Structure 1
Amino acid sequence: MVATQECFPFGCLLKYLFTLLGLFLFVLDIVLDVRTVVSFYQDGSYVYMAVLIFLLLGSSVLLQVFSWLWYSDSLELIETKVEKFAKEHLLIKPFHFLQLGVCLRFAGVIETSTKDILHQITNFRNGARHIIREDAKLKYDFLMIRLIEAFSENIPQLTLILTRILQRGELELVTGLKILTTAAALAFNVALYHQGMHVYGSKGFKMSWMSTVIYFLWNLLLIIPRVTALALFCSVLPCFIIAHFLSLWMLLVLVVWSQKTDHMKSPGWEWFFRAAVGVIWYFNWFNVSKKGCLKVKIAIYNSLMALDTAMLLGLWSWKVFEYAGCWNSLNPYVVIPTLLGLYVTGILVKIIYYKWLHPKLPEPSEERQFRQAATYDAGSTDSTDSTGLSPEDGAAAPAQPLTGVLKRSSTMVANFYF
């Protein structure tokens, strides 16, 4: 959607630098992926190398499929020059076949962000009202793809590398850099998703950077114990981690199905989306439906994950004393209370966030407001216009059924503000 919001120039510059940081981390992560694979090969760690390649290729294919599906029903909304060029020369499908679809989307986001910041600086110099209109029609697909990447690639990679460190008892330079880059990419993708919701916040949906920091903090405090518990369990019972993932993942997919999600164009691809959400839920919570009470859903989910994490730690502590070497420095009586303490702290921070910092809807009819905003923006074609119109100006227009990216963005934001 094209959203209108007042923005202090330096705040816009900060968001632009944040986007560039994301691009830098994206490129650096790819470079270190290749370097880590080479390092595993040189060390003779062929099993780790094979698993890492599987994670990289599997996640890449998953992202390309989502990207292509969402491009295919939104081609008429493409406005950036780089994406128009790819569309006119029939390059979008080859780009995705070559696993470059996300790069194409990143190029579009960088182009749009650059156009927005230059327009904002011009307004600032001319003394005009500081208005920024962001081309978010396809940005919301980009945010969702990056979020899926965080949980289908970044976190599994982090778990694999931690497992290797635990088994070898040493930290190498390449793996250390890979851990830092992966953690930074994860942090960026989670924060980017949260800040991306602010595009809708031009009127009544206020969101501060502090809200984003706290949002990331509770995610971090819940993800760290989860990833560490999985790595510890995998380090002593590596053959059972696949069975654990598949059994829990299938249960989570069924739970997603019970939520009656409606994010994709066809029922078949909706199951594909539910499978991806199951992967996200394996590590952390992500709201995908307004069905049911949110507090009850979060309470049930966190209770299940806390029980599963405690079980993983218990199995690790049972097997750990059978191993020699580095295991002697890991005392289960210290590790387990520390990780569970972090998890409880994360839940408390999460409660604080939702009680005081989560942006609130200005009125209960949020679905109607989102639908009006999406309907208004569907007729907008100029992503740099600064007339200051708001979605409410299009309220008189008759509501039309939303499809494609407009439907996805509306659903995505409605679930977030729910």
Structure 2
Amino acid sequence: MGSGDELRFSLHDLIFICLGLATFLFDLGTDVWVVASFFEAGDYFWAGAVLLVVLFCSVVVQMFSWCWFAGDREQLKSLSNSGLLPPFKTTVGDGALRLLHGLQLGFLVRYITALEVGFRMHKERDTVGLQYIIYLISDISMLRLFESIFESAPQLTLMLYIMMLKNQMKLHQCFSIVASFLSIAWAILDFHKSLRSSLSDKMHLNFKSALIYFIFNLLLICPRICSIALFATIFKHYVLLHFALICLPMFIWTCQQGTDFMNNIPEEVFYRGAVAVILYFTWLNVAAGKTIIRQIIYHSFLAVDCGILVGFWWIYRDPVLTASYTLPLLIAISSSYFLGVIVKCTYYKYLHPTLTADLLTTDETDILQEVGFRSICESRPLINKRMQILSNCFYFSKPEGNRRCSNMEETKI
């Protein structure tokens, strides 16, 4: 493999895996702490609500994990039988995997496998091993993104709703809220980093770019969740209606983009539904096209939607009970969102590691120039087809749909 196709797995990448596992376990620990605290306080309804959100998220993540395991089974077995995967890199048996996913441990098994292989690859620099570890962490980053959005975002909304409803702030609730916000921003950063891990060295995020990317996602996700929680304190029966009214067009929009991410039609519909839920909270690009125009439309729509939610809360709130935090909260929500947009624009103009990164003057900020993902992958026996699809859609601007994007001819853009 030439230098333009050089893969790297450094100590920095291994640390990212460890931090990802740490945040996952930390999230899980705070969930248990919150549920136990509600039970001890006699708030069985809220304890059950938080527990239901956690279990639902876990089931969704395990379903995605198992579908990907099942879809890649033949590829991994073929490479193992041909000697391209050493014995220690083979996967667990199908029966054991099915059982582990049924016990909600499939995601954790992926992390443990990645750590085992990662520690070995930190010493053994063989090409296939590097491809395998990148293959593993790509799936982990996507599952971590699903886990954070499906669990942390609704749980955050619920926790903020409870705090505002009871007009009190407990230590364990504040701790869980801060941890969940950081976890979501970290998951988005980790996904973005994994999206680039299959590209040439010059495309990798440096520390400054990663930090700014983390900050603007944190700034954008906070006001979105806070506005939903505020609306819920007054119109709790209409939150699900609002969720459906936003997710339905997002689902239709995702379908119209012609995604081809999963192995069959039912799984693809499931994936598109998951994308719609993610778009309810934060931005995710899943198809080739004019990314900048989409982001402008999306963030403008979200700003208007958040404004409407907060506006209804402002009109119907109890002015006495909310007097202590109304003005600071409104200032924090509005300034956080607009500051997040400004930081995001700054990131894409000055720090985004592409050859054309001018957010204000071009529709092709995320184009990979001079070398395509397909040309990189042709020299590898093992690639993660899901990351291949998303990388192509993220770095190529031709609106040809995911299937065509993954099979596009090698060109210089």
TM-score class, shorter-chain normalisation, is 0.7 to 0.9
1:413 pairs with 2:388 = no
Residue 102 (1) aligns with residue 107 (2) = yes
Shift of 1:192: 1.3
8 Å CA contact 2:181–2:222 kept in 1: the answer is: no
Structure 2: which amino acid aligns with 1:5? L
Identity %: 29
What residue in structure 2 maps to residue 298 of structure 1? 295
> Which residue of 276, 279, 288 corresponds with 1:278?
276
CA distance in 1, matches of 2:131, 2:89: 19
Distance 1:331 1:204 in 2: 46
Against the structure 1 CA distance between its residues 187 and 80, is the aligned structure 2 distance closer, same or farther, given a 3 Å change threshold?
farther
Q: TM-score, normalised by structure 2?
A: 0.83
Q: Tell me which of 354, 359, 374 is aligned to 1:360.
A: 354
Q: Match of 1:22?
A: 20
The two structures, once aligned, show a CA RMSD in angstroms of 2.7
In the alignment, the residues of structure 2 paired with residue 81 and residue 157 of structure 1 have an alpha-carbon distance, to the nearest angstrom, of 41
**Secondary structure at 2:7 match in 1:** strand
* Residue pairs, 1:106-145, within 5 angstroms: 106-119=111-124, 135-145=133-143
Q: Distance in 2 between matches of 1:85 and 1:281?
A: 33
Alignment of 1:91 onto 2:88: no
TM-score, normalised on structure 1?
Answer: 0.82
- For structure 1, the 5+ residue unaligned runs are 124-130, 381-404
- 1:223-302, aligned counterparts within 5 Å? 223-291=221-289, 293-302=290-299
Aligned counterpart for 1:5 among listed residues 4, 7, 10: 7
Which residue in the other structure is 2:153 paired with? 155
Distance 1:62 1:190, change over 3 A: same
Determine the structure 1 residue equivalent to 2:323: 328
Q: Which amino acid counterpart does residue 77 of structure 1 have in structure 2?
A: L
2:311 pairs with 284, 291, 314, which one? Answer: 314
Residue by residue over 1:216-238, the C-alpha shift from the partner in whole angstroms, topping out at 9 and shown as x without a partner, is 11111111111111111112222
Kept in 2, the 8 Å contact 1:154–1:182? The answer is: yes
Alignment of 1:361-400 (within 5 A): 369-378=372-381
Please tell me whether the aligned partners of residues 33 and 172 of structure 2 are also in contact (alpha carbons under 8 angstroms).
yes
For 2:343, the equivalent position in structure 1 comes to 349
> Is the 2:149–2:278 contact (alpha carbons within 8 Å) kept by the matching residues of 1?
yes
Residue 19 of structure 1: how far off its partner (Å)? 2.1
Contact 2:17 2:111 in 1 (8 A): no
Contact in 1 for aligned 2:196/2:391 (Cα 8 Å): no
Residue 359 of structure 1 contacts residue 417 of structure 1 at CA under 8 Å; is this kept in 2? no
Figure out how many residues of one structure are paired with residues of the other and give that number.
373
Using CA pairs below 8 Å that are at least 6 residues apart, which structure has the higher relative contact order?
1
Aligned-partner Cα distance in 1 for 2:231–2:334 = 15
Q: Which runs of 5+ in 2 are unaligned?
A: 78-84, 357-365, 397-413
Cα distance in 1, alignment partners of residues 314 and 367 from structure 2: 49
AA at the equivalent of 1:176? C
Counterparts of 2:157 and 2:317 in 1: how far apart (Å)?
18
Following TM superposition, by how much is the alpha carbon of 1:22 offset from its aligned partner in structure 2, in angstroms?
2.0
CA offset digits 1:252-302 (Å, max 9, x no partner): 1111111111111112211111110111100110110003x1111111111
1:199-249, Cα deviation, whole Å (9 max, x unpaired): 223344243121111111111111111111111111222221111111111
* Partner SS, residue 74 of structure 1: helix
Tell me which residue corresponds to 1:387: none
1:190 equivalent in structure 2 = 188
In 1: Cα distance, 2:35 partner to 2:163 partner:
15
**Alpha-carbon distance, 1:367 to partner:** 10
